Structure formats: structure tokens, C-alpha cells
Structure 1
């Protein structure tokens, strides 16, 4: 198989992460309307030097930011990540973004609009519930 199909939630709305950030529903809408899923890169551990696949769908639903994509085994890093995902050793998702608009609520930063750059497959996601599974 030349690709591994995956899906999961890269962000969960109204859920505090380990950095005291909370993403509001609709925070990704303008960014996704502008770029679509093609504008969101798939990386490993936020390393922009070696993309590992493509996101075929990046959408907001009632729960959060849902992603579907394919890890491509055409590169050494893609083969490594696919093998680790299949073995169950790697299952976290993490977003790379630029804050456009946010507000503070006590210790929390509530992200109300962000420019989404990438979704990475990571060992330790900042949002513990941001996980992927093999389709």
C-alpha cells in the first residue's frame, strides 16, 4: 500500500488544552473558506521541512476540526510515520496556526479566529483529546 488513510479531530471546540488555550466554534471558518484543505499541510511533529502526506478534508463540525487524509509512503519520513501509526505508537494531532483574533477569560485564551497552516501528527498533542485513527 502506498498510502495510509487516517482521520480524526485536530481540535475540539470549547476544550482547554495544556497551554490554557480554548478554540471557539467557527475559529477556522474564514481560513478554510480561503484555502480549503489544500492550504493545510500534513506534517510530522510540526517539521515543515518534510511534509508526510495530504489532508483530503479539513472541516469544522459540531465537535471540532475534523480531518481526513493520507500519509504517503513515497518518502522515508512518510514510511516511518505510517509504520508508527499502524503500530499504535503515534496517534496525536496538533494544529499549527496564527492567532487572528482571541479574547482572554481568566487564565484562558479563547481563540475566536485563526489562520490554520498545518495539522501535524505528533507524539504528545497539546490537546490530549486530539487523536487520529486509521480509516
Structure 2
């Protein structure tokens, strides 16, 4: 296959506990997104080799939605695109800096974060953070 691989999915789901006992509050990404800083697409949080671009990153009622393209112009992008197409890789994970949070028992509630990147990963910390391939078919 040639050309960019279009993907989309939820990188974070509001009010959903992850495997690290973090919960993201609705609106946690709003200030970071409004600031306009780019959100990088990585593989397994490896900042050495970006694999594509996020064309859209926004919050809706459900969580943090991303839509972008894995670029096959690099060896890592080609590998990740092939793994996604084969169904071997479908997780999403966020890289961020905590700005404001509160502890609620064992839970850390993230109220405001600075979003740095969204990675395509094998094992997402939030099991429901999954991507799908965007079909070009109408």
C-alpha cells in the first residue's frame, strides 16, 4: 500500500479510569488546544521518530478525539502503517504535563494538562483509547 494511512479515534475518554488510576476531567485539554501548540504523532512515545501528523485534535462530550495521517515516507511510518492495517496495533496514548489535578482517594483527577503528543501504541494505559482506519469510501 502507498500513500498516507488515515486514522482516527479517542486518545482520552473523560471520566474513565486508566490503568494508572488517572481520570481525565472534561475540559482538561481545552487551554492547551486553544494555545495552538502542535500535537505530535509518535509511535510508543518515542520522540526520536515522529510517524505522522494529527490534522484534527479536539475535545467533544466523550473525550479527546484525534484524526490524522501516518506517513509512509519514513521507515517507522511504513512499519506502523502496516501494523495498523494488519490489526496488530490499534492503541492510542497521550503524552502530557500535568498543570492542575486533585487526588480523590486512589484516583488522580486531571483537571488541566498541557498536551504534548498522542502516540500509536500497543498497550494503551486507557484500554478504551483505540484508533481505527478511516475509509475513503463514501
> For residue 2 of structure 1, what is the aligned residue in structure 2?
3
Matches within 5 A, 1:29-40: 29-35=30-36, 39-40=38-39
* Matched position secondary structure for 2:115: strand
Query: Normalising to structure 2: TM-score of the pair?
Result: 0.95
**Aligned alpha-carbon RMSD (Å):** 0.6
Query: Normalising to structure 1: TM-score of the pair?
Result: 0.98
The number of residue pairs the alignment matches comes to 133
Q: Which 5+ residue runs of structure 1 have no aligned equivalent?
A: none
The CA distance in 2 between the partners of 1:117 and 1:2, in whole Å, is 26
Over residues 6-58 of structure 1, what are the superposed CA-to-partner deviations in whole Å (9 max), with x where a residue is unaligned? Answer: 0000000000000000000000000000025xx10000000000000000000
Q: Which 5+ residue runs of structure 2 have no aligned equivalent?
A: none
> For residue 131 of structure 1, what is the aligned residue in structure 2?
130
* Matched position secondary structure for 1:7: strand
Tell me how far 1:2 sits from its aligned partner.
1.6
> For residue 77 of structure 1, what is the aligned residue in structure 2?
76
> For residue 108 of structure 1, what is the aligned residue in structure 2?
107
The CA distance in 2 between the partners of 1:50 and 1:34, in whole Å, is 24
Structure 1 segments of 4+ aligned residues over 6 angstroms from their partners = none
